[in-house]
Structure 1
Amino acid sequence: MKIWIQALAGLLLVALLQPAGSAPVEDGYDLWLRYRALPPAPQAQLLARARRIVHAEPASPTLQAAVAELKRGVAGLTGREPASSAQPVDGALMLVTPANAPAGVELPWGQLGREGHVLRSLRLGGRAVTLIAANTDVGLLYGSFAWLRAAQTGIDLSRLDQRAVPQVGLRLLNHWDNLDRTVERGYAGASIWDWWKLPGILDARYKDYARANASLGLNGTVLNNVNAKADSLTAPFLAKAAALAHVFRPYGIKVWLSARFSAPVELGGLTTADPLDPAVRAWWKAKADEIYRTIPDFGGFLVKANSEGQPGPQDYGRNHADGANMLAEALAPHGGRVMWRAFVYAPDASDRAAQGHAEFQPLDGRFAANVIVQVKNGAIDFQPREPFHPLFGAMPRTPLALELQITKEYLGFSTHLVYLGPLFEEVLRARPDGATVAQHVQAIAGVANVGTDRNWSGSDFDQANWYAFGRMAWDPGLASADVAREWVQQTFTSAPRAVDSIVAMMTASREAVVDYMTPLGLHHLMGTGHHHGPAPWVDNLERADWNPVYFHRAGRDGIGFDRSPRGSNAVAQYAPAWAARLSRPETTPEAWLLWFHHLPWDYRMASGRSLWAELVARYDRGVESVGALRVQWAGLRGHIDARRHADVAAHLAVQEQEARWWRDACIAYFQSVSGLPLPAGVRPPEQPLDAYKALRFNFAPGRGG
């Protein structure tokens, strides 16, 4: 009750801070594209570099979008909107391709590809100008957003010389949005796609969504849930998808659809969906032809098959390559692709973490050229921390995609401040073999966290995870702290001390949630079904691997899942050097210790404490860290507009209460199974274990389906 009273008080304060009868000035809708007025000196510098915008005529829709964004941005940042000009003038912004590049200027056209760009300040005919240069208009669009980002983050515009080329070709959002507008694992309101009103009524939000994605360099969006309905492939829904594609097209974003494998049966009246059946293959070919007549630049299909009850090729004795290649064959004439998810686990698997590798690695080299196997960052399911998936580095002859979750299904929903940049960085920089995970993938997909909430993501700080995903998908080498700094400067303030404080909060937040939820490699302790709050005691569900006790295996003898050669031997799925390192607890990183090893409670940790004492200490540290976040944020009052400051403060109050709940419930449970006393000086749980077990959350958000 105390949690909800604090949250209500915070929300009432937010309401009181909003002037009566006026629209909120800072309600989060503008995301990182706020374009609020700069201080006088940066304003003057910006105006000196953007007196006019020079571009080719006639302008394509994409070039028009780039010019419109530049005008909007400069007007917001300086109060003056630059006019268009046919000829260079002093202080001009020039958008150029090889077709209209100024004579005598050497630019690395061959290195830019289709989407890269160059930002360069120089003198041209005695005039100070800035070039935004690219091979294509979509490259100019990305370059325009990059220039505006530079203007907002304090980069000296008079000395610009930047080249940016995406390191990963496909960069997509995956929407787990259903046709009834519920969103599976969504915590920001209903789906932004109003299927009922489409295609005739186009919400203005669709264009702003496209702008936001283009500002990050994202080039694709999967509109519907991977737990797909066949209806999404019918003519009426294709017309709706085509209307969205029309809005997104100028912003370089292709529409994709999740396809239900059994659609030939459900829509086509066939008796089978066997991928080797000629009639089934013909049905998919005809459907692909229909889609491309409706959406000529359709990206392709995302498929979840033979996972969590979804139909797939294994229903007919076929394998994943058989199913994926059938769809690839239908899409290939149109240039489409299939993203086939590797998130699978069988009811009888001895170790769920090993299932994806067991099913997919033997198929390496057997997938069609236009198939990409989409692999989650870890082998379980978007946990606060997981080791990198063993499929990375294990399928050298198969294009792979990295799937990340932007929405926080297992991380406190949108209530908790958890900046995911460090999680993304951790997996992107992991080295399964000699190369990083980022070097192993051709695509990066993020499960979207947007919805109809005015601030898009349910909380202001959750916007940062959308931002970080896009920036790090474009350039996996970016440091998450640097990305956080960019976001803060564009979203909240450019005051250096305030920026430093907020960045410090963000970079500490992920480790805090690991500590108070799943320290030392524990995983899947969350409430079953809704995944809200702690429930490590659950042991009565239909399938063993739906129960948290399956994953932590705590008892009198110790805690942890033994994946060493003495246990499930899942470590053998990693490259030899990693397998050897992970096989022994003393060489396994402590962050993954209980993921790979079942250890006695008195196992000696690096700190010198016993495993039991270390586990309790981590839970305490997590709660203390959230308390520190609250203090830091309170100190920023006056640097952040009152409405958003109060809203974040209300969220942090709830987070601290829920961190204590996590800490107390988990310690109470693990103490009950270990039989150990609490370490000296440790605060006991606030309530008895049965009180935590009795909590129910029947209407938790994010369970749409």
Structure 2
Amino acid sequence: MKRTIYLVLTFIACAYLAKAEDGHELWLRGKSAASVQIQHSRKSSVLDIAINELKTGWLGKNEANIKFEFSQHASIKGDGFRLEQDKIIARTDLGILYGTYELLRRQYLGKTDDHFSSNPSYSRRILNHWDNLDGSVERGYAGQSIFWKNDQDLTISKADEALYQLYGRANASIGINGTVLNNVNASAKILTAPYLKKVQAIAGILRPYGLKVYLSVNFSSPVTIGKLKTADPLDPLVRKWWANKAKEIYQLIPDFGGFLVKANSEGQPGPQDFGRTHVDGANMMADAVSPFNGIVMWRAFVYQTSEQDRTKQAYTEFLRYDGKLKKNVILQVKNGPLDFQPREPFSALFGAMNQTPVMPEFQITQEYLGQSKQLAFLSTLWEECLNSDTYQKGKGSTVAVVTDGTQDKSTFTAIAGVANIGSDRNWTGHIFAQANWYAFGRLAWNNQLKSEDIADEWIRQTFLGVRENAKDQSFVKPVKKMMLESREAIVNYMMPLGLHHIFAEGHHYGPAPWFANTKIRADWTSVYYHKADLEGLGFNRSQSGSNAVAQYHEPLRSRFDDLNTCPEEYLLWFHHVPWTYRLRNGQDLWTALCYRYDTGVQQVRDFQKTWDKMHGLVDEERFMAVQSKLRIQSRDAQIWKDACLLYFQTFSKREIPFDIERPVHDLDALKTLSKSKSYE
């Protein structure tokens, strides 16, 4: 009887422990009972966190004695740090905290070198939360906002406070030092007193973790909540209103970071509504926050109803303003010229602005990459962008170099990531989507890191116990391979060879290459981008087309312009290609397209096989959660393949190669399915 009770209790205990592995702890699972002593000459709330992290996570020799040492040594920049044997050396308290997390990470990963230095690539490393004040999250796939509940409840509970502390800890562990608390499609109410009081409270909780808070603001706020008759940025009363509002904010939050602005884009108000320019609007706001060392992040994501190629419009709009923006304005530019597609060439604006600081904007949330249902490790996408050579000042002017201050010796640098964080227990909806939050922080701190190394770090910290090196071949190697291939697999089964933006209307989840609603603007439809006809496929952006290639420096301009030298991953981005055109592997366009789609499907099926082999090597709850998501992804990949090939076949008039699996759906049924907001 006693043995039976013991077995039952053991089973319950094991079940409880398994349930605890629900992803809530992210990559911060390391705990230890080892003892460590810390020497420090000063006190602060930041250093208190560092001390606590060392005492609860120390994995080195027992009874170690770690010293916090402050130094103005030239090798340490900003909040950078240096690790030496038994010492964490930094200029600032935050440098000590970041060094602490690096030391613990290296212990967890079994890295034993005694000397290590690290400085941040960007001075401001910021998450953009597209959270609405009613609690919803635009392009959010992991539950409700963690900051906002509804328009009436502005309280912060003990549970909220604990969650914000975990959020702050996770960000500090990867070097993120800023957060925009609300959607770029901003409600003016965020600047009213009740909301600012809550922002003040959130800022107080996040401050010890090194996070400054920023706010997205609505350009028409002086009218909406200020009761002025205009929001004209050259109107003295408007300028005074923004100056007073900035003063009010900084009285509540002395270290407030500044404003993020989406203006004259997708219906958002802006200076052009009053006959003014983006420069007029940005500089007016910059003047308001300048006395408090605040900044303005002005988004370059602007396009109008126009005959001009949409991908050219941001460049055309902002190039003429180069050098005219105030010193505390930075232009926030999406990685590509369109809109966070699975693959785009880098935005030409990165290589165009010689006198204006530019910051990359990456999308961590997977709006166009399967949302929370599909595995897509986005570090490879961002690494591809950062390493792209703009040739702004000759070879070597990569996106990383022209944005991180290396090329122009600037210290006013920033990078932003659109957050994928929500109220779901695992924070991001998909366990593997946590890796994108992690990867963004690591690349923001060091834009030279390799995706392979970032994936390795995340896998070991997220799934393995301390130094479980025995699982290198059985777990780490196959899971890392799956992660590193995942984004390319999505490109293959969604939009290979440079196809782009052929998603279903509105929800951007499934395929709808047939979407051609004449009641809305053309550049919100799929047919605008793929231009399929009996002759071929693709958008002609060469000199004979929209001439978007002219926005790039040589030799890229000529390389993209020539069909025979254009990189094949951008072929249909820059050219309308005949169905019979031969690619470098000898296949004609139609055949190559068929094989790419099929390859994507097979890759996802291989991911399923890989993950199924991990059963028993990872806790049951997270294993089952990922397995379920991969089944959805495999089904969705088949839908993408069938929808696109069956639709484009109506133009190519060619057979699908017989050694490729046949479509399993009917085109008409898929057209009906695409109108649904959920494919489940």
Structure 1 residue 192: Cα displacement: 0.6
Picking from 468, 477, 502, the partner of 1:500 is 477
Structure 1 residue 23: Cα displacement: 8.2
Contact kept in structure 1, 2:188 and 2:217, CA below 8 Å: yes
- Tell me the equivalent position of 1:464: 435
Query: Counterparts of 1:167-316 in structure 2 under 5 Å?
Result: 167-195=121-149, 197-202=153-158, 203=160, 204-316=162-274
Query: Counterparts of 1:486-565 in structure 2 under 5 Å?
Result: 486-493=457-464, 494=468, 495-497=471-473, 498-540=475-517, 541-565=519-543
**Cα 1:92–1:20, aligned 2, differ >3 Å: closer, same or farther?**
closer
Asked whether 1:440 is paired with 2:413, we answer no
| Cα separation, 2, equivalents of 1:349 and 1:60 | 57
Query: 1:111-149 deviations in whole A, cap 9, x for unaligned?
Result: 21230001111xxxxxxxx10111111100000000110
Picking from 23, 28, 35, the partner of 2:30 is 35
Structure 1 residue 386: Cα displacement: 0.4
| Cα separation, 1, equivalents of 2:528 and 2:630 | 32
**Cα 1:24–1:682, aligned 2, differ >3 Å: closer, same or farther?**
closer
- Tell me the equivalent position of 1:358: 316
| Cα separation, 2, equivalents of 1:33 and 1:260 | 36
Query: 1:515-553 deviations in whole A, cap 9, x for unaligned?
Result: 000100000011110001000000015100000000000
Structure 1 residue 67: Cα displacement: 0.8
**Cα 1:18–1:185, aligned 2, differ >3 Å: closer, same or farther?**
farther
Asked whether 1:93 is paired with 2:47, we answer no
Asked whether 1:635 is paired with 2:613, we answer yes
Picking from 537, 543, 556, the partner of 1:578 is 556
Asked whether 1:375 is paired with 2:337, we answer no
Asked whether 1:604 is paired with 2:582, we answer yes
SS at match of 2:314: helix
Structure 1 residue 396: Cα displacement: 1.0
Asked whether 1:449 is paired with 2:427, we answer no
Structure 1 residue 700: Cα displacement: 4.6
Where has structure 1 moved over 6 Å in runs of 4 or more?
Answer: 16-23
Structure 1 residue 673: Cα displacement: 2.4
Asked whether 1:150 is paired with 2:106, we answer yes
| Cα separation, 2, equivalents of 1:622 and 1:327 | 46
Identical-pair percentage: 51
Q: Could you list the runs of 5+ residues in structure 1 that have no partner in the other structure?
A: 1-15, 38-42, 83-89, 99-107, 122-129
| Cα separation, 1, equivalents of 2:493 and 2:13 | 34
Asked whether 1:67 is paired with 2:63, we answer no
- Tell me the equivalent position of 1:140: 96
- Tell me the equivalent position of 2:544: 566
SS at match of 1:52: strand
Contact kept in structure 1, 2:598 and 2:661, CA below 8 Å: no
Query: 1:160-202 deviations in whole A, cap 9, x for unaligned?
Result: 2000000111110000000011000000000011455544435
| Cα separation, 2, equivalents of 1:18 and 1:187 | 32
**Which is further off, 583-592 or 493-502?**
493-502
**Cα 1:20–1:487, aligned 2, differ >3 Å: closer, same or farther?**
closer
Structure 1 residue 349: Cα displacement: 3.6
**Cα 1:346–1:335, aligned 2, differ >3 Å: closer, same or farther?**
same
SS at match of 2:189: helix
Query: 1:211-233 deviations in whole A, cap 9, x for unaligned?
Result: 00001111100000000000001
Contact kept in structure 2, 1:17 and 1:642, CA below 8 Å: no
| Cα separation, 2, equivalents of 1:432 and 1:22 | 50
SS at match of 1:302: strand
**Superposition TM-score, scaled by structure 2 size:** 0.92
Structure 1 residue 25: Cα displacement: 1.7
- Tell me the equivalent position of 2:38: 53
Asked whether 1:429 is paired with 2:387, we answer yes
SS at match of 2:133: coil
| Cα separation, 2, equivalents of 1:162 and 1:628 | 38
Structure 1 residue 317: Cα displacement: 1.3
Q: Could you list the runs of 5+ residues in structure 2 that have no partner in the other structure?
A: 1-10, 404-412
- Tell me the equivalent position of 1:103: none
Asked whether 1:344 is paired with 2:322, we answer no
Structure 1 residue 662: Cα displacement: 0.6
Picking from 66, 75, 98, the partner of 1:111 is 75
**Superposition TM-score, scaled by structure 1 size:** 0.89
| Cα separation, 2, equivalents of 1:281 and 1:653 | 55
Structure 1 residue 696: Cα displacement: 4.7
- Tell me the equivalent position of 1:86: none
| Cα separation, 1, equivalents of 2:641 and 2:54 | 49
| Cα separation, 2, equivalents of 1:148 and 1:622 | 38
Contact kept in structure 2, 1:407 and 1:413, CA below 8 Å: yes
| Cα separation, 1, equivalents of 2:256 and 2:264 | 25
Structure 1 residue 26: Cα displacement: 0.4
Amino acid at match of 1:456: W
Aligned-residue RMSD, C-alpha? 1.8
| Cα separation, 2, equivalents of 1:482 and 1:72 | 25
Higher RCO (CA < 8 A, seq sep 6+)? 1
Structure 1 residue 19: Cα displacement: 6.8
- Tell me the equivalent position of 1:683: 661
**Cα 1:360–1:17, aligned 2, differ >3 Å: closer, same or farther?**
farther
Structure 1 residue 678: Cα displacement: 1.7
Contact kept in structure 2, 1:17 and 1:643, CA below 8 Å: no
SS at match of 2:84: strand
- Tell me the equivalent position of 1:5: none
Contact kept in structure 1, 2:505 and 2:675, CA below 8 Å: no
Amino acid at match of 1:346: Q
Query: 1:490-514 deviations in whole A, cap 9, x for unaligned?
Result: 0012421111111111001111000
SS at match of 1:363: coil
